Structure 1
Amino acid sequence: MLDFDEPSNGDESPLLRKLSVAHSKTAYKNNSFSGIAESRQTADYKATKPVMTASKSMGKESAIEEITPTTEKHRVIFPMSASLAPVSIGARRPDADSVKIIGGQGYDVRQPVPLKYPNIRQHFLNARNNFWTPNDIAMGDDKMQWNTGKLTEEETWMFKCNISYLTASDNLVPDNLDNAILAQITANEMRQYLRWQMAEEANHIESYFFILESFGLDVEGQGQIFNLYQQVPELTAKLNWNLTFTNNVVSCGAPFGSPEANRALLEDLISYYIFEYLFFPLGFSQVFALARQGKLRNTAQQYQYIWRDENLHAINGRWLIRQIIKENPALWDKSMRERARAIINEAVILETNFGKATMPNGGIPGLSLKSYTDYARLMANNICQALGLELLFDIKEHPMAWLSEYEMKQEVNFFEGRVRDYRVGSDLKWE
């Protein structure tokens, strides 16, 4: 088991070197996404195969003298079901055995039945029951604290960086689903859930906007805070790290359903599972630490509802990755497992650097940088365990067990549960 006492931007990862401070000011240019799904269904696909020649002097028993890899261009067709395919008159309904999460063939993905994965439909129903809106949480106390200097300079800096990063990141997730994921999902119930997830991310963005607006900040004041993700290299690096995986999927070039396309997709899904399960909770913990000190408790309640949504996203993401591996076992080879561990470790390095940038003096009252970093390591180990990988870090105890006070495990309608939740929230004894 590895124990990284001080994760750093060392030689472990070429990708992290690309995302270093020196490169953080370079703007990432998105590829053109128009027509990408259609063009990837049938593609001029470059396949590499070895051409072996034998020594003439060695006769029948000759050994291979040289192996010269050559690249040959083939027209490869992967007849994967696609949402952009025209509706065919007289086409048969799919049967459950033919439906797959990715790579399904011979049926219309718009068909809602039969349900191949009923638990995913339940994910959707659970999420729908949890619908909430930011403006139903009163923000008056937080506005007064913000405008009367109740937060220290260090706490104010941490919060500004925090909400800037989270707002930008909640934009990344639906962009990834839209541009990289949905075109390759061939199970209707999963497509239905992911569409709802995109709507929830939009609601989260509105929540962050509503928080700053409720503080009385004008457009200029809000803009200065939201723009920090483009000014603080450690925030930029985290965002660009996930964007790299999205762009790898989009620019892969291999047809949907091919091993190369599936590998790029799986790496992308792992990176965004990390987003939902590791990056988001670490970010929320900073505001929950303020709430424990009696500061920005209304904002913390907004974050609670967001965390509940993100937790369901993580549960669905974990299931999605596992199911793809189950249906495509050859994809989860030694190389892919090692790559997955490297991706998870990169995330911890990025999160550690984020913690240092947002808490430059080693933390705030109630939240030390060490406990923050250890929490990232614990979550990384949990991800490894969920994916059947060897653990990365030698950490066994939860460094911030108090976070359980802020978990909202109940799956109830926001409006039905708000009286109880608000009453409990008033004294920070969360259920």
Structure 2
Amino acid sequence: MDFDLYPQQTLKHKKIYDPTSNESVNDRKIFGGNPTAMFELTRIKYEWAYKLWKTMLNNTWFPEEVNMNEDKRHYLDLQPEEKIGYDRALAQLIFMDSLQTNNLNDNINPFITSPEINLLLIRQAFEESLHSQSYAVMVESISANTDEIYDMWRKDMQLRNKNDYIAHIYTGLADNPTEHNFVKALYANQILEGIYFYSGFCFFYALARQGRMLSSAQMIRFIQRDEVTHLLIFQHLINTLRKERPDIFTKALEEEVVEMFKQAVQVEINWGIYITQGKLMGLTEELIKGYIQYLAKERMERVGLPKIYDNKNTIDWVNRFSSFNEQKTNFFEAKVTNYTKGGVDFDDF
């Protein structure tokens, strides 16, 4: 790959304190700015960031809100291939939220020089950590040997290969923090938040659709609502940077990112097929393929990338299971529940 084609200005970590800075609100930048390090939140440049921050605060939840007692019995009643799929899906989700917590704190936020975006990413890192705690609750509730799930990535090469592939782009920024690699990492975050979670999410919803593992699906439902806001963060970062620094968004970068999406789609399709093994009702190979390609189409359109997929949502019943917006019939409890913490609507941002 010829990196001479790309802008290669090296990024530096922001100063944690700079009393000599006279940077105005209008002079703030996503990266490359000169902040004082004060969080002056009565003066905001990136209003979308502050709005998302408040939405995420309003959506605060804790794993203890979900009672997992019934899932222990349901898990014992699963077919062997369903247990394997459940464990694999859970092990992969554990990795991604662990990776994302470290990535945000160590790899992305140190370069961000806008205080309102710093706060937003700190909040996201908290939520990723909360998800890790949620998975721990799930593992401890259903597994006789918790180490089997936590160590699965060491023994299951399909899982290990997926983990290694996802982490590769992030380590590229850490090893070589250029403007090009930073923007590429933003796209990688959009892919992680918008594609790589979804085969696993669907697995839990498919079981719940049959009246099984309802508490696990409820936990995933909380987690997915958070992931939607995380996806919005990176879509806004990309689209805002495209306006502020169009010079970085070269044709060569676009081609590289499109290829990232193509590979991510195939990785996630393969993973969905692997965890379902053709044994889970409502998740055939063709349905998984169509759904992941549909998600990629939606994600790419949101950041102005060319259209390479034209799929409709082949698993549209998932929306009924995952939505928190407004007042819905809670399929977990078969009664109307008003979720005052709210939902997330893409069109609000």
Structure number, greater radius of gyration: 1
Task: Name the residue aligned to 1:225.
Answer: 149
User: What TM-score, normalized to structure 1?
Assistant: 0.72
RMSD of equivalent CA atoms? 2.5
Do the aligned partners of 1:282 and 1:375 also contact (CA within 8 Å) in 2?
A: no
Match 1:408 to one of 323, 342, 345: 323
Code of the residue aligned with 1:235 in structure 2: it is: L
Report which of the two has the higher share of strand.
1
Aligned: 1:375 with 2:291: yes
**Mapped partners of 2:266, 2:206: distance in 1:** 22
Do the aligned partners of 2:39 and 2:116 also contact (CA within 8 Å) in 1?
A: no
Code of the residue aligned with 2:334 in structure 1: it is: D
Aligned: 1:165 with 2:92: yes
Do the aligned partners of 1:405 and 1:429 also contact (CA within 8 Å) in 2?
A: no
Do the aligned partners of 1:406 and 1:430 also contact (CA within 8 Å) in 2?
A: no
**Mapped partners of 1:77, 1:388: distance in 2:** 26
Task: Name the residue aligned to 1:330.
Answer: 247
Match 2:14 to one of 82, 99, 108: 82
Report which of the two has the higher share of helix.
2
Aligned: 1:239 with 2:167: no
- Offset of residue 304 of structure 1: 0.2
**Mapped partners of 1:48, 1:394: distance in 2:** 33
Secondary structure of the corresponding residue to residue 388 of structure 1: coil
- Offset of residue 168 of structure 1: 1.0
User: What TM-score, normalized to structure 2?
Assistant: 0.88
Seen in structure 2, the aligned counterparts of structure 1 residues 320 and 359 have a Cα distance that, compared at 3 Å, is: same
Match 1:278 to one of 176, 190, 195: 195
**Mapped partners of 2:45, 2:101: distance in 1:** 24
Task: Name the residue aligned to 2:307.
Answer: 391
Aligned: 1:288 with 2:205: yes
Q: Where does 1:5-404 land on structure 2 (aligned, <5 Å)?
A: 82-84=14-16, 86-88=17-19, 91=20, 93-105=22-34, 107-113=35-41, 114-147=43-76, 150-215=77-142, 217-218=143-144, 221-252=145-176, 261-360=178-277, 362-395=278-311, 397-404=312-319
Code of the residue aligned with 2:285 in structure 1: it is: L
Do the aligned partners of 1:371 and 1:400 also contact (CA within 8 Å) in 2?
A: yes
Q: How many residue pairs are counted as aligned between the two chains?
A: 333
Secondary structure of the corresponding residue to residue 392 of structure 1: coil
Q: Which runs of 5+ in 2 are unaligned?
A: 339-349
Seen in structure 2, the aligned counterparts of structure 1 residues 300 and 96 have a Cα distance that, compared at 3 Å, is: same
**Mapped partners of 1:352, 1:48: distance in 2:** 33
Do the aligned partners of 1:82 and 1:108 also contact (CA within 8 Å) in 2?
A: no
Of the structure 1 ranges 196-205 and 109-118, higher mean CA displacement relative to structure 2 is found in 109-118
**Mapped partners of 2:98, 2:196: distance in 1:** 14
Question: Which portions of structure 1, spanning 4 or more consecutive aligned residues, are displaced by more than 4 angstroms?
Answer: 420-424, 428-431
**Mapped partners of 2:156, 2:10: distance in 1:** 45
- Offset of residue 359 of structure 1: 2.4
**Mapped partners of 1:269, 1:390: distance in 2:** 17
Code of the residue aligned with 2:305 in structure 1: it is: L
Task: Name the residue aligned to 2:332.
Answer: 425
Seen in structure 2, the aligned counterparts of structure 1 residues 171 and 126 have a Cα distance that, compared at 3 Å, is: same
Seen in structure 2, the aligned counterparts of structure 1 residues 429 and 244 have a Cα distance that, compared at 3 Å, is: farther
Task: Name the residue aligned to 2:345.
Answer: none
- Offset of residue 406 of structure 1: 1.6
Q: Taking every aligned residue pair, what percent have the same amino acid on both sides?
A: 23
Secondary structure of the corresponding residue to residue 96 of structure 1: coil
Seen in structure 2, the aligned counterparts of structure 1 residues 159 and 429 have a Cα distance that, compared at 3 Å, is: farther
Q: Which runs of 5+ in 1 are unaligned?
A: 1-13, 15-46, 50-75, 255-260, 412-419
**Mapped partners of 2:279, 2:286: distance in 1:** 8
Of the structure 1 ranges 381-390 and 190-199, higher mean CA displacement relative to structure 2 is found in 381-390
Code of the residue aligned with 1:242 in structure 2: it is: I
Q: 1:318-345: per-residue Cα shift (whole Å, max 9, x none)?
A: 1111111211101111101111100000
**Mapped partners of 1:137, 1:197: distance in 2:** 21
Code of the residue aligned with 2:272 in structure 1: it is: G
- Offset of residue 405 of structure 1: 0.7
